[in-house]
């Protein structure tokens, strides 16, 4: 493999590199801090690519904007002298190949939803760059490689499932299946990877890193509400995505008596109401969302012929998630009979809840405490690449607060002080992990 463990460490080094070659020291540094201004500069520069009104980003996976974002991050990887590999599903890994053995890896994604913010995913990737640069400049040589990655199509907004690249990275989906996936706009992953220049040759799945740890904004309200700076993420809730197609009888909106209608729009609305009610009945961590409804022909005076809608159903408890899924299936069958419509559905994504290892959760807490930062344990409501990496290596996540719990929205915001605190915690965790034989 031309991958990140065996290649030449300084391959791709640019001439304008601005730091001096590190001098080896043995003691593990405990007082290193990242350069917050440099991290924020990179975050704001990346946010200019695909910028949208309100301060957010639209970089759907494998679009031109995603390519431009990738190119920028890769150029930064090369500036740091990292060995850059692109695998067969477009995952990009930048490795500082010091020391020996498996890398301590961090990273996330830089694709966004169509109305994304500046921080979701991007923070985790650029934090990794900042950490590697900080360690390089410190003069301390880690005993094993440090790697930063961005995975293809984490969001799943253009191509399902979400976490597609990291799922392939750990062998959870075949490369051919990924490349053949058709998106919401009819495009094919394999064609788009070729078009944007990220159909790489490094084999996927890849060898397991020594450990993987991801910094991410919380994307929910809990840390802010509890006044904690650092989230020690205990795991990620299960996710069930389904696309439902309802076929009815298209007809004239003025002449068709209400009793004679077979209306897919009405049936779609009843499904949305049923999901809200299901979440209310289950309580706890149950959440349900109808995020997309397409009507055909989508005209003011026509009873639609067809509705296509998506259901996003999540719970931290696999048993409850299964129960919710079967209730929904029963309701769809009953609704088809009641309304005289045909309802079919297909699974777009299905991931069981994931729990991160106790030692990794404890390491987040202990590192936050060493830094004088408040922390709390919490599960993640959003899906993350770290949940896939947890299948092959010790993995964990560090959360920082999201202002008003808003995300997947241009208004997404995290205070700079919290971003820097989270990145410092990640830095120290990665240093510690390089020195642990068994994380
Ligand atoms: C990814 O952002 C997801 O949780 O949908
Ligand atoms: Mn994300
Ligand atoms: Mn997201």
Q: Are residues 217 and 272 in the same domain?
A: no
Q: Which atom of ligand 1 is nearest to the CA of 408?
A: 2
The three-point CA angle 310-311-312 to 5° equals 120
Whose CA is closest to 282, among 315, 310, 311?
Answer: 315
**Structure confidence at residue 27 (pLDDT):** 77
pLDDT category at 1 given cuts 50, 70, 90 is very low
Find the 160 Cα to ligand 1 centroid distance in Å. 11
- Whole-angstrom CA distances from 86 to 1, 15, 103, 168, 329 are 11, 22, 16, 13, 40
Q: Of the candidates 351, 385, 418, which is a domain's last residue?
A: 351
pLDDT at 2: 28
Ligand 1 nearest-atom number relative to CA 381: 4
Q: Which of 57, 110, 383 to mutate to test the pocket of ligand 1 (most atoms within 8 A of CB)?
A: 383
Co-location of 144 and 50 in the same domain: yes
The reply to whether 275 and 331 lie within a common domain is yes
Q: From the CA of 154, how far away is ligand 3's center (Å)?
A: 7
Residue 439 lies in a domain: no
Tokens of 317: 């408890």
**Same domain flag for 268 and 344:** yes
Q: Which domain holds residue 94?
A: 3-237+354-434
The rounded Å distance from CA 284 to ligand 2 centre is: 23
Q: How far is the CA of 242 from the centre of ligand 3 (A)?
A: 18
- Indicate the residue among 294, 321, 351 that finishes a domain: 351
Asked whether the predicted pLDDT for residue 3 surpasses 70, the reply is: no
What distance in Å separates the CA atoms of residue 435 and residue 432, rounded to the nearest whole number? 5
Q: Kindly state whether residues 362 and 306 are assigned to the same domain.
A: no
Give the tens place of pLDDT for each residue, 83-118: 999 999 999 999 999 999 999 999 999 999 999 999
pLDDT at 399 over 70: yes
Taking residues 151-161, what's their average pLDDT?
98
346 and 363 assigned to the same domain: no
Average pLDDT, the chain: 94
Is residue 22 one of the residues assigned to a domain? yes
The model's confidence at residue 205, banded by pLDDT at 50, 70 and 90, is very high
Q: Are residues 186 and 247 in the same domain?
A: no
**Are residues 314 and 382 located together in one domain of the fold?**
no
Which pLDDT belongs to residue 148?
Answer: 99
Atom of ligand 1 nearest to the CA of 120: 2
Ligand 1 atom closest to Cα of 239? 4
Q: How many domains does the chain have?
A: 2
Looking from the CA of residue 154, the nearest atom of ligand 1 is 1
Ligand 1 atom nearest 163 alpha carbon: 1
At 26, the pLDDT band (50, 70, 90 cuts) reads low
Q: pLDDT tier at 183 (50, 70, 90 boundaries)?
A: very high
Give me the CATH number covering residue 219. 3.40.630.10
> Of the candidates 238, 327, 344, which has an alpha carbon nearest to the alpha carbon of residue 274?
327
303 class by beta-carbon count within 10 Å (0-12 exposed, 13-18 middle, 19+ buried): buried
Specify if 203 maps to a domain. Answer: yes
CA-CA distance, 132 to 30, in Å (whole number)? 15
Over the stretch 230-252, which tens digit does the pLDDT of each residue have?
Answer: 999 999 999 999 999 999 999 99
Local confidence band at 12 (pLDDT 50, 70, 90 cut-offs): very low
Contact residues of ligand 1, CB 6 A cut-off: 155, 162, 382-383
In ligand 1, the atom with minimum distance to the C-alpha of 113 is: 2
Residues 19 and 137 in one domain: yes
Q: What is the whole-number distance in angstroms between the Cα of residue 185 and the centre of ligand 2?
A: 22
Q: How far is CA 22 from the centre of its chain?
A: 33
- Is the same domain home to 155 and 233? yes
- Residue 54 in domain: yes
Q: pTM of the prediction?
A: 0.93
Edge-first strand order for the sheet with 238-247 is 287-296, 306-315, 238-247, 342-351
Let me know whether 41 and 182 are in one domain. yes
Which of 4-8, 107-111, 212-216 has the weakest average pLDDT?
Answer: 4-8
Distance CA 145, CA 92 (A): 16
Residue 145 resides in a domain:
yes
Q: What is the tens place of the pLDDT at every residue in 282-322?
A: 999 999 999 999 999 999 999 999 999 999 999 999 999 99
CATH number at residue 340: 3.30.70.360
Domain assignment of residue 33, yes or no: yes
Identify which ligand lies nearest to the alpha carbon of 125.
2
Among protein residues, the one whose CA lies closest to atom 2 of ligand 1: 155
**Cα(113) to centroid of ligand 1, in Å?**
9
Out of 351, 377, 392, a domain closes at 351
Closest ligand to residue 110's CA: 2
Which among 156, 216, 353, 381 is the best mutation to test ligand 1's pocket, defined by most ligand atoms within 8 Å of the CB?
156
What percent of the chain has a predicted confidence (pLDDT) above 90? 93
Ligand 3 ion: Cβ-proximal residues, 5 Å cutoff = 120
207 part of a folded domain: yes
User: Residue 384 C-alpha to ligand 1 middle, in angstroms?
Assistant: 7
Which of 69-73, 425-429, 434-438 has the least mean pLDDT? 434-438
Separation of 139 CA from ligand 1 center, angstroms? 38
225 with 365, same domain?
A: yes
């Amino acid at each position: 493999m031309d991958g990140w463990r065996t290649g030449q460490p300084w391959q791709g080094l640019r001439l304008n590199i601005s730091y001096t070659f590190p001098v080896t020291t043995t003691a593990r540094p405990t007082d290193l801090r990242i350069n917050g201004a440099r991290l924020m500069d990179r975050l704001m520069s990346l946010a200019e690519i695909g910028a949208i009104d309100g301060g957010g980003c639209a970089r759907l996976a494998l679009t031109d904007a995603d390519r431009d974002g990738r190119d920028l991050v890769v150029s930064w990887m090369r500036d740091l002298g990292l060995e850059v590999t692109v695998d067969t599903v477009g995952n990009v890994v930048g490795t500082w190949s010091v020391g020996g053995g498996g890398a301590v890896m961090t990273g996330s994604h830089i694709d966004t939803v169509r109305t994304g913010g500046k921080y979701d995913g991007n923070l985790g990737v650029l934090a990794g760059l900042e950490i590697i640069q900080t360690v390089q400049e410190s003069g301390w040589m880690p005993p094993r490689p440090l790697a930063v990655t961005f995975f293809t199509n984490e969001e799943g907004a253009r191509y399902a499932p979400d976490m597609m690249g990291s799922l392939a990275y750990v062998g959870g989906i075949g490369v051919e299946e990924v490349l053949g996936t058709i998106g919401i706009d009819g495009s094919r992953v394999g064609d788009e990877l070729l078009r944007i220049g990220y159909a790489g040759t490094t084999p996927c799945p890849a060898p397991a890193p020594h450990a993987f740890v991801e910094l991410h904004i919380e994307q929910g309200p809990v840390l802010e509400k509890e006044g904690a700076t650092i989230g020690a993420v205990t795991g990620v809730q299960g996710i069930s995505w389904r696309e439902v197609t309802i076929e009815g009888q298209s007809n004239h909106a003025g002449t068709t008596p209400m009793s004679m209608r077979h209306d897919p729009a009405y049936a779609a609305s009843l499904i949305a109401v049923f999901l809200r009610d299901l979440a209310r009945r289950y309580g706890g961590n149950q959440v349900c969302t109808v995020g997309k409804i397409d009507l055909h022909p989508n005209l003011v005076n026509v009873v639609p012929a067809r509705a296509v809608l998506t259901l996003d159903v999540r719970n931290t408890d696999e048993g409850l998630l299964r129960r919710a899924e079967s209730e929904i299936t029963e309701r769809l069958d009953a609704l088809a009979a009641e309304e005289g419509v045909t309802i079919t559905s297909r699974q777009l994504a299905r991931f069981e809840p994931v729990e991160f290892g106790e030692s990794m959760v404890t390491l987040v807490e202990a590192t936050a405490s060493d830094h004088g930062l408040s922390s709390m344990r919490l599960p993640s409501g959003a899906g993350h690449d770290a949940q896939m990496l947890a299948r092959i290596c010790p993995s964990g996540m560090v959360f920082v607060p999201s202002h008003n719990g808003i995300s997947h929205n241009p208004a997404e915001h995290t205070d700079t002080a919290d971003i820097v605190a989270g990145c410092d915690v990640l830095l120290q965790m990665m240093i510690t992990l390089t020195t642990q034989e068994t994380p």
